[in-house]
Amino acid sequence: MGRRGTASQQSRGWRGLPAVAVVAALCLSGCASISQKFAESASQLPEVGLSANAPARPTQQMAYPAVHDVPPPRTAAMLTDFEQQKMETDLVSARDQQQTSAGVPAAAERKKKQAIDQAAARDKAARDQAARDQAAKNQSARRQAVRAYDNPDQDGASAPISSSSSRTIY
């Protein structure tokens, strides 16, 4: 008897759900016309809408940009390799002159410092690699020692299992 009463109470609660949905839809449908009227009147308020110095909207709507149109080929000639190299050296010399006048170290000193830093980084990498190699050798030696302890036969052949063996096999 208790179960039927609980089921009927649950179904009564769900019966009112469509009515609530219809009432909510009716209430919200009136917002569309109100918002249109409000937008017209609110746009006339001094602090709502466009500012006074905003540009006017164009009378004719802009066309979409021509995405697939290919630009015309260049009329100017490309630099030759010699001209490009000369341009780069001129720019580098101008940069170095500006940096020396500003008190920044010259490019040659920067290159020397970079070379020293790179050499130090290579030395550190070599030391790290040597440490890793040594650790790998130590680990290999430990593994061999454990294998030798677990398996005392040096020839690699396993000893025959006998009834007198002290090892228990599970």
Ranges 28-42, 64-78, 141-155, most confident: 64-78
> Average pLDDT, stretch 153-162?
54
Split at pLDDT 50, 70, 90, the class of 133 is very high
- Label residue 107 exposed, middle or buried (CB < 10 Å: 0-12, 13-18, 19+): middle
**So what's the pLDDT on residue 84?**
93
pLDDT tens-place string over residues 81-93: 999 999 999 998 9
Q: Which residues contact 118 (CB under 8 A, 6 or more apart)?
A: none
In this prediction, what percent of the chain has a pLDDT beyond 70? 69
Statement: residue 4 has pLDDT above 60? no
Mean pLDDT, the chain, integer: 77
48: Cα separation from own chain's centroid:
40
Which of 85, 84, 130, 91 shows the shortest CA–CA distance to 107? 91
- Label residue 76 exposed, middle or buried (CB < 10 Å: 0-12, 13-18, 19+): exposed
Q: What is the pTM of this model?
A: 0.27
One-character DSSP codes across the chain: -HHHHHHHHHHHHHHTHHHHHHHHHHHHHHHHHHHHHHHHHHTTSTTSSS-TTSPPPPSSPPPPP-SSPPPPPP-SPPPPHHHHHHHHHHHHHHHHHHHHHHTPPPHHHHHHHHHHHHHHHHHHHHHHHHHHHHHHHHHHHHHHHHHHHH---TTSPPPPP-TT-S----
> Average pLDDT, stretch 54-70?
81
Q: Which residue has the higher pLDDT, 150 or 96?
A: 96
**So what's the pLDDT on residue 63?**
79
**So what's the pLDDT on residue 94?**
92
Statement: residue 110 has pLDDT above 90? no
**So what's the pLDDT on residue 14?**
73
Write down the domain spans for the chain: 106-152
> Average pLDDT, stretch 43-53?
71
> Average pLDDT, stretch 46-73?
79
Split at pLDDT 50, 70, 90, the class of 114 is confident
Token representation of residue 81:
């390799």
Buried/exposed 43-70: b ≥16 CB within 10 Å, e otherwise: eeeeeeeeeeeeeeeeeeeeeeeeeeee
